[in-house]
Amino acid sequence: MGRRRKQRRQPHGSAWHWKQTDGWYYTQPGTRKRVALFEEDGQRIHGKDNRETAELALARKKLSWEENSPEAAGGSGEWPVARVCSHYIQYCESGFSKGAISKGHRDSAVNRLNDLCKFCGALPVAQLKKSHIQQWLESHTGWRSSETHRSVIAVVLAAFNQAAEMHGIVNPLKGLKKPRPKPRLHSFDAEDEKAIYGATEPCFGNFLYAAIHTGLRPFCELAKITADEVEESQRGMMWRVYSTRTKKTRKIPVRFEVAEMTRKLMKTAPRGSGITLFRNSKGKPWKPTAGVVRFLTIKKKLSWDNPNPIRGEQDGSATIQRSINPIADSTTAGERRGDLCRRGRSGRRRVKTARQQTFGLGGRTGRSHDGWAAPVHRTED
């Protein structure tokens, strides 16, 4: 005979005493989180005999529940879509001010959700259907990429999930599927790479060359490198790279050609100056907006407006930017594409594997490091 299920002594929404802390708590209906009860002066309620004080504090809490309930929203008993979007934008603004949410996600949420409100902001949440979201996506002719659809749907789902979790709203978009990711696994060959350098200014050409042959993220890693992060030893040159995206620092070896270029750039940005090595024509660090302008200019000069099977089926400027990949030019374009396809979707694994192939690093096999950059002064054995 199965064990009888233990009955709850009191329903959610009641004040209860926890012997471990000798404090009073409540659990809001629809949640599993215990919340401490406080007196009017802000002090926690302690003592098993203070049930009446705890019940009074809980009654004050229940008034705030009623004020924030869907029935109190405009008196219609239903939240409009615009209110869900507004609550999530406020949540993103608060998270951004505390450093818990990135500026990119905040800006993306503001733009996408404001656009959704123009489409169906007055529609009650209970009447919103998945087909409405699909119609909204299709109404934007510029949103052709599946990756764009994925990012837009992710923001919308996050807004409604947050409303369901914090305000008890029934999520009408639960189960809405995002398009499958289609990573760009193509790369350009040596001729295309040479053509790119010839179609842009030297300062941006150096920036692209270093990005292609190190595999670093262009704007949150490479653009912030200074001479203080450069180390040289008998084994060669290495960079200490800090990523503002992952908040981590790592060391990477660089190729001989990149090391030579780094030494030339260090003459104009010496150690201790705080000046980045890779700068634009105005002497400032590269930013994503400036990079996009250069990518569009390169695409126009090289007549890459039409889709090309080697460069992928996406937009030309985005394809050039995505082509800044960690696959070194020591192999042919076909071999690189094959390596990318074999590695799958893990970008960081591709970076490690390409670096091993480029510098002769064999991992556990202990192969030589002859491909590393030579130091300025090398001692003879």
Residue 1 included in any domain: no
What number is the average pLDDT over the span 154-169? 90
Cross-sheet strand order for the sheet of 15-18: 15-18, 23-27, 34-36
User: Does 203 share its domain with 342?
Assistant: yes
Q: Which two tokens stand for residue 261?
A: 């270029």
Number of domains in the chain: 3
353 in the same domain as 236: yes
Segment 106-120 mean pLDDT:
93
Which of 101, 74, 232 lies closest to 155, judged by CA?
101
Is 76's pLDDT higher than 50? no
Contact 198, 118 (CB under 8 A): no
- Domain around 28: 15-67
176 falls within a domain: no
Same-domain status, 317 and 208 = yes
pLDDT at 88 (0 to 100):
94
Is 380 part of a structural domain of the chain? Answer: no
Residue 319, domain member (yes or no): yes
Q: Is the pLDDT of residue 333 over 60?
A: no
Examine the domain organization and report whether 218 and 147 are in the same domain. no
Residue 40, token pair as written in the block: 């009017």
Q: Is residue 8 part of a domain?
A: no
pLDDT single digits (tens) 1-18: 456 655 555 655 688 888
Percent of the chain with pLDDT over 90: 30
The pLDDT value given to residue 166: 85
**Tokens (6 digits) for 284:** 């400032």
Average pLDDT, the chain: 76
Q: Phi and psi of 142, rounded to 5°?
A: -80, -15
* Reported confidence tier of residue 133, pLDDT bands at 50, 70, 90: very high
pLDDT of 200-230, one tens digit each? 999 999 999 999 888 888 888 899 999 999 9
DSSP character at residue 311: T
The encoded tokens of residue 376 equal: 């300025």
Ramachandran angles phi, psi of 26, nearest 5°: -145, 160
What's the predicted TM-score (pTM) here? 0.46
Check if the beta carbon of residue 131 is closer than 8 Å to that of residue 125: no
- Flag whether 76 is in a domain: no
Same domain, 48 and 135: no
Residue 183 lies in a domain: no
Q: Are residues 136 and 279 in the same domain?
A: no
Instruction: Tell me if 4 is assigned to some domain.
Output: no
Contact present, 215 and 355 (Cβ < 8 Å)? yes
Q: 26 with 15: CB under 8 angstroms?
A: yes
Select the more confidently predicted residue: 170 or 351.
170
**How far is 68 from 167, CA to CA, in rounded Å?**
7
CATH number at residue 217: 1.10.443
